[in-house]
């Protein structure tokens, strides 16, 4: 991930930016959670104790000097001992996040570890995960138990018994991406379990996914940036951030593209934190070649084929909304006949096998049509299309809201969908 250039950003700024995102995304509470960074001088910058995480500012961040001197207006987090203990046993870890995100807390209560093979990118991002036995919060004992799960092991994340989770990273963005991805895996598995039985990818499937990043793509020698092209870049960034803010896209995965003219388009790149994406990160594809010096999303060939075979499609979003992925990881049919709007917007959403979106497979471009604007890809993503980007995003919202309603309704009883006669009335009145 290249955004949030931590080499140029003060630790105070990094910490306040990330803790704000964690809080706003409902992954910690006013009083819960803490973040730290170990700088090149051996000093540890850490969130304070008993200060509202929703209003934390840069001046609230504490520095614990290498010699133990505390600099700042507050006390360091009560959990500082285990942050310090992790840094002492793992020199490769330079940032630590601890919080109580709901899904991972659920795992800590049942004393299990999420299987990150639920989606393809998570195994590499999350790494090995340990499990630490219970310890009194803020105690040296807890610090020792957590440090033991990092010491001499490859673990980059640890589930804390009846407590939450703690994750390390090479920098704070690395730790946050791991944290967000692991919580997403836990939420997806829990949602999937509400409607069926989750299925997981095997190592061969995950390895094949890793090969999809385009390394040998041809590049144009020069590029032009007319005003309409620059406007598309800004629109893509705006929609990506909205998707992240609404929990429908995470830092590590998600692709948005918009047709520019003819079959040329603009598309998001890989390895950029989605929630902090900038217009200059977007990659222009012209004549099948990429903008000089840039790598497009691993899905760019799929997007290109969709545009070539579907003149009515002018924008595409591929992402991993947590409730839609419950359907994408169980094989349970996502029936959009929940409310009239859902069926009018989506009509039918088929689910295709994992790998159908890989290079050389034309299934999805041929499957998409005006009556099939969206497709679920098993254990991977949801791909939705439209004329304008805002229409495509609207369809994404409607689909995820519908999936959420279905997942929430599962414990209440049997789904009673809109019947065939009612569907036919909707078809006549809204689809001509």
Q: pLDDT tens digits, the chain, 432 residues: what are they?
A: 344 455 678 999 999 999 999 998 889 888 888 999 999 999 999 999 988 888 899 999 999 999 999 998 999 999 999 999 999 999 999 999 999 999 999 999 999 999 999 999 999 999 999 999 999 988 889 989 999 999 999 999 999 999 999 999 999 999 999 999 999 999 999 999 999 999 999 999 999 998 887 677 899 998 999 999 999 999 999 999 999 999 999 988 999 999 999 999 999 998 888 988 999 999 999 999 999 999 999 899 999 999 999 999 999 999 999 999 999 999 999 999 999 999 999 998 999 999 999 988 999 999 999 999 999 999 999 999 999 999 999 999 999 999 999 999 999 998 899 999 999 999 999 987
What is the pLDDT at residue 1?
Answer: 39
CA atoms of 346 and 399, how far apart (whole Å): 7
CA atoms within 13 A on the CB side of 286: 16
Q: What angle do CA 33, 38, 41 make, to 5 degrees?
A: 150
CA atoms of 20 and 366, how far apart (whole Å): 42
What is the pLDDT at residue 6?
Answer: 59
Q: Alpha helix locations (H) across 128-223?
A: 140-150, 172-195, 203-210
Tokens of 87: 């840094």
What is the pLDDT at residue 7?
Answer: 61
**What domains can be seen in the chain, in order of their start residue?**
11-195 (3.40.225.10), 210-430 (3.40.225.10)
Does this model's pTM top 0.75? My answer is: yes
Residue 373: closest CA among 381, 382, 173: 382
Residues 52, 30 contacting (CB under 8 angstroms): yes
What is the pLDDT at residue 176?
Answer: 95
What is the pLDDT at residue 5?
Answer: 58
Q: Under DSSP, is residue 168 helix (H, G, I), strand (E, B) or coil?
A: strand
What is the pLDDT at residue 195?
Answer: 96
């Amino acid at each position: 991930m290249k955004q949030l250039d931590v080499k140029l950003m003060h630790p105070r700024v990094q910490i306040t930016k990330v803790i704000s995102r964690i809080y706003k995304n409902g992954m910690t509470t006013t009083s819960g959670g803490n973040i730290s960074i170990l700088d090149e001088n051996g000093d540890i910058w850490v969130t304070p104790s008993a200060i509202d995480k929703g209003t934390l500012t840069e001046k609230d961040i504490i520095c614990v000097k290498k010699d133990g001197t505390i600099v700042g207006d507050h006390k360091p987090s009560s959990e500082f001992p285990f942050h310090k203990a992790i840094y002492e046993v793992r020199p490769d870890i330079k940032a630590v996040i601890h919080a109580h995100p709901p899904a991972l807390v659920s795992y800590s209560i049942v004393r299990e570890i999420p299987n990150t093979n639920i989606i393809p990118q998570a195994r590499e991002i999350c790494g090995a995960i340990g499990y630490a036995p219970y310890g009194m919060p803020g105690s040296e004992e807890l610090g020792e138990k957590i440090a033991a799960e990092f010491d001499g092991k490859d673990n980059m994340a640890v589930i804390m018994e009846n407590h939450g989770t703690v994750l390390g990273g090479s920098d704070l963005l690395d730790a946050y991406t791991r944290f967000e991805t692991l919580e997403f895996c836990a939420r997806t598995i829990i949602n999937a379990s509400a409607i069926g039985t989750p299925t997981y990818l095997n190592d061969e499937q995950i390895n094949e996914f890793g090969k999809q990043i385009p390394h040998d793509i041809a590049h144009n020698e020069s590029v032009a940036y007319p005003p309409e092209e620059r406007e598309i870049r800004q629109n893509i960034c705006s929609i990506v951030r909205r998707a992240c803010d609404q929990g429908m896209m995470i830092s590590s995965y998600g692709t948005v593209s918009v047709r520019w003219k003819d079959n040329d388009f603009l598309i998001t790149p890989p390895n950029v934190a989605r929630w902090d994406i900038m217009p200059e990160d977007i990659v222009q594809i012209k004549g099948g070649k990429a903008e000089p010096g840039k790598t497009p999303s691993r899905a760019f060939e799929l997007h290109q084929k969709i545009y070539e075979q579907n003149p009515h499609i002018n924008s595409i979003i591929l992402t991993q909304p947590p409730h839609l992925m419950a359907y994408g990881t169980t094989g349970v049919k996502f029936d959009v006949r929940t409310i009239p709007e859902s069926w009018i917007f989506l009509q039918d959403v088929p689910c295709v096998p994992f790998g159908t979106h890989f290079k050389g497979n034309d299934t999805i471009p041929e499957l998409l049509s005006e009556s099939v604007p969206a497709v679920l890809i098993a254990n991977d993503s949801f791909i939705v299309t439209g004329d304008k980007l805002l229409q495509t995003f609207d369809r994404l919202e409607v689909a995820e809201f519908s999936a959420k309603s279905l997942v929430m309704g599962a414990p209440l009883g049997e789904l009673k969908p809109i019947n065939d006669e009612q569907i036919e009335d909707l078809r006549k009145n809204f689809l001509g």
